[in-house]
Amino acid sequence: CPKCVELKLPREGAAFCSQDCFKESWGSHKSVHLKAKLSSPAPENAGEQNSGLSNDPWLYCLRKGQSRTSKLPNFDWTGSLRPYPISKKRLVPAHIEQPDWAIDGTPKIEPSSDFQHVVEIKTPDQIEKMRETCRIGREVLDAAARVVRPGITTDEIDAVVHDATIAAGGYPSPLNYHFFPKSCCTSVNEVICHGIPDARKLEDGDIVNIDVTVCYKGVHGDLNETFFVGNVDEASKRLVQCTYECLEKAIAIVKPGVRFREIGEIINRHASMSGLSVVRSYCGHGIGELFHCAPNIPHYARNKAVGVMKAGQTFTIEPMINAGVWRDRMWPDGWTAVTADGKRSAQFEHTLLVTDTGVEVLTARLPSSPNVFPWLKS
């Protein structure tokens, strides 16, 4: 078990006869890691938020993940949230197939691919692999959703995502992608997207988006959801539910012959009716053997997206909806995008396949998915 190796636990009980054996044992085996953390001696700085999580120094992230600092960076923060130190990079065992950025942080195939300009029509084999990968992604996000509560750190959520992805035989696509330092994105309150998991404990009343992408059998599956932490105010509940509805309404129009630009019109109309705004700096994207590629899917109205949908295309729709203005700011870490006015933001995302007659939601919720959204309860 790679986590047992990282925690330096005894080999007895941490060795498995095969990958399938490891997967089957994961449900019960993962409790070993929690017991090890709880029984480990507390470090000297036990009063700090990052206590008990690692004996290695925790540092603030800078330069899109390429450097660290021990001091909180200077910045004109737009809201009450602040970055916290992050832990060291998590390990991926050698038997896991890794994308070309895993070691040095730089994608090689993706930037120069023809599919940055031409929307790929997936083969039946690619589609089947994407179904499998997206289901793993859904199961990983569901595992993360189950641990969301006041008092847990976003780094601990990242550990759940990382371990669940590895246990399924996948690679967490964000890890070291353009030097992103973690295995998922955790975007809290005014963070729009690309929040870096860190030592901050989630607080009662927060909202947190968890964005998961899994790479398995050479293809990627991407999804995210925004969760309530404890007792959330009514305005935040309305923001999150409206964002969910924006995605659902956009998915409902997906079918061959529909223009990509129509997605933004649908989303913008629904958000505006609730007095909310749509982020313009970040869009949905094509996905498959490449993490990001054509088509570009803007979520705002009067956008300039080119092309029409065709059967066999796969892409994400992932609206980011703000309680205040749509404009964003970037934190000193080079990743974390926050609202310009410090008000809250929510996001939901699915990976979709255009079929001959409509759409298949590859990352759809499962019967086993946790029942965390009040508006979905029967």
Tell me the β-bridge partners of 172: 214
pLDDT in tens, 5-50: 767 777 767 777 776 777 777 766 776 776 665 555 444 333 333 3
Give the span between the Cα atoms of 43 and 48, in whole angstroms. 10
**Measured distance CA(59)–CA(319) in Å, rounded:** 31
pLDDT tens digit string along 153-190?
A: 999 999 999 999 999 999 999 999 999 999 999 999 99
Contacts of 282 (CB under 8 A, 6+ apart): 192, 193, 318, 320, 337
d(CA 370, CA 221) in angstroms, rounded, equals 19
Specify whether the CB–CB gap between 17 and 1 falls below 8 A: no
Most distant pair of Cα atoms in the chain: their distance = 62
State the pTM of this model. 0.86
Peptide bond into 298 cis (omega under 30): no
Domains defined along the chain, listed by start: 2-34 (no CATH), 60-361 (3.90.230.10)
The SS3 call for residue 27 is helix
pLDDT (tens digit, 0 to 9) for every residue of the chain, 378 residues total?
777 776 777 776 777 777 677 777 776 677 677 666 555 544 433 333 333 334 468 999 999 999 999 999 999 999 999 999 999 999 999 999 999 999 999 999 999 999 999 999 999 999 999 999 999 999 999 999 999 999 999 999 999 999 999 999 999 999 999 999 999 999 999 999 999 999 999 999 999 999 999 999 999 999 999 999 999 999 999 999 999 999 999 999 999 999 999 999 999 999 999 999 999 999 999 999 999 999 999 999 999 999 999 999 999 999 999 999 999 999 999 999 999 999 999 999 999 999 999 999 999 999 999 999 999 975
**Nearest alpha-carbon partner for 264 in 224, 321, 220, 211:** 321
- Give the closest residue to 126 by CA, choosing from 20, 256, 216, 223: 216
Displacement of CA 115 from its chain's centroid (Å): 23
Encoding tokens for residue 243? Answer: 């964002």
